[in-house]
Structure 1
Amino acid sequence: MAMMCKDRAMAATPHRIAVVAQHGVIPFELGIPARIFGGARTPEGKGLYEVRTCAPYGPGPVRTDADFEVNVPHGPEPLADAETVIFLASHERTSSHTEGRLSEELAAAFALIRPGTRLVSICTGAYFLAAAGFLDGLRATTHWNSAVHFQQTFPQVKVDPDVLYVDNGDILTSAGVAAGIDLCLHLVRRDHGTAVANVSARRTLVPPHREGGQAQYIQRPVPDGGPATTATARAFALGRLDRPLALRELADMESMSVRTFTRRFREETGVSPGQWLTQQRVERARQLLESSDLTVDRIAREAGFGTAASMRQHLQAVLGVSPSTYRRTFR
């Protein structure tokens, strides 16, 4: 996951975001960018983003998938100078994007977007990016219920139906509906650090970071034997990230075999126990790098990586930067 850590000049001039709303838009999704990015502010209260909603066919009423329309104030013109463009899902039954092609209006709108602009999709908005060719050869995600159709329609895209979002640097995709919140908070965190993202999350009354992926929300048959979970083991692990944690130890806490525990853990979080622990340790290291004066060696021990070299390897893999670079950017 590449970091797009621009210099602090971003705080001086609001980052321009264009949100593309089309007929059949989901009202909930339509409000996500304005709410999350609108809540991102400097300590002095100045907005860090400017969000403009536009429709490819021009300003005016846009049908939603509910029983009302919304009045969109802009046509496609804001796409020409936007630094980030967000494509939302469209539930119009006649939409051509589900067949792998763009409407004339949307193709013309894509032509306005400057090279290097950050492109983002929420839910099945990924169809538009894929139909325009921007996801070719890349890993991407969409709503789990559309993942099979999406992969069949765009075989050149590497679809991951389990995650909440995928970050390819300047091209990002999210899973269904509420996962757009996770992706937008991720972008705020990537642009301006955890503290700013946390404030925006608190104003929206959502967690700054959700564990696991969308696999945990896919409906599956309830197994016989009752609603056993791995919540106790996860809470135990979060309080002891600074020491080695054996899978057998965590499974014993839930009175499960290692095999059953691993399967149940993945069902509930969308990732394996080992992947989950690494995610939590990376998050702990980020918090300490941003908020403390501890040495990198001490942070590596506190986060459970053991050595600075191990932490450097994990942060480089997840964040695309070294611990020292991350601290210089966000401290």
Structure 2
Amino acid sequence: MAKQALGKGLGALIKKQTGSGVPASTVSPDESKRVRDVPLDQVVPSPLQPRTTFIESPLDDLMESIRQHGIIQPLIVRPVDGKLELIAGERRWRASQKLGLATVPVIEREASDRDVLEMALIENLQREDLNPMEEAAGYVRLAREFTMKQEEIAARVGKSRASVANAMRLLDLHSDVQLLVAQARLSVGHAKAILSIKDRDAQLLASDQVIRRQLTVRATEKLAQTFQNDLATPAADGTKKPAAATPARETDAHIRAIENRLRDLFATHVAITHSPKKGRIELEYYGNDDLQRILELLGADEV
């Protein structure tokens, strides 16, 4: 499949029409006559920009293209307080800054705050480098601030309703778990498995085990089921067990310490699965010789 042309903007992404009948970020023939170069420092980012991080690698690719071909599509801006505030084209603006360009081509357009926010949200949601939590937050903002239903959001961003719904559910995770997903330390598949744990503190404890033990998604599903079963089991006095005690944070720290001691003893990866009712210790070995070495340390080499 051929790559999208550089600079192809929101016109290909947003089907909603503005009052002039022109898609929000498409440059009309009349507007193309009004392109002008302005000092780069006169252009400022919009405070309505919902994007919180910009991945460097795609930005480097854009910089190289600008070096060779210049900025093909002008930035769309609106006049605000003596400056030109970006409506569309923040990546081009950032790339221009890094390249040290003195001027950039712009087209001025009138747009309300609501128009700017909606355009920015939908443009960002179309980008492949958006992290899952930014994507989820974008969908929720469209739903809350623009009263869009999941079906409408899905149609506007070109995704299925199920994918939109699943993304939005990620915001039900503990805030620290959300950060792990945003940092790509926890995959969306792992996060979906952890969502089956209803207690947020327990979600955090489970996430910690998933990362430390490098569990697969399937193994994470089993771990989550163990956590949820423990939460559903009443304590001895008939009350619901608090998440912090199932397993307790102190117990979890103790298990980590045991793992470290065993790792030093056996010189291999050790993982302990612990719950109040049962547990499992796993030792990894790498080939027959390594297995024999571990068996000798266990005193089981003659078994």
TM-score (norm 1): 0.28
Look at both structures and tell me which one has the larger radius of gyration over its CA atoms: 2
Structure with the bigger percentage of helix: 2
TM-score (norm 2): 0.30
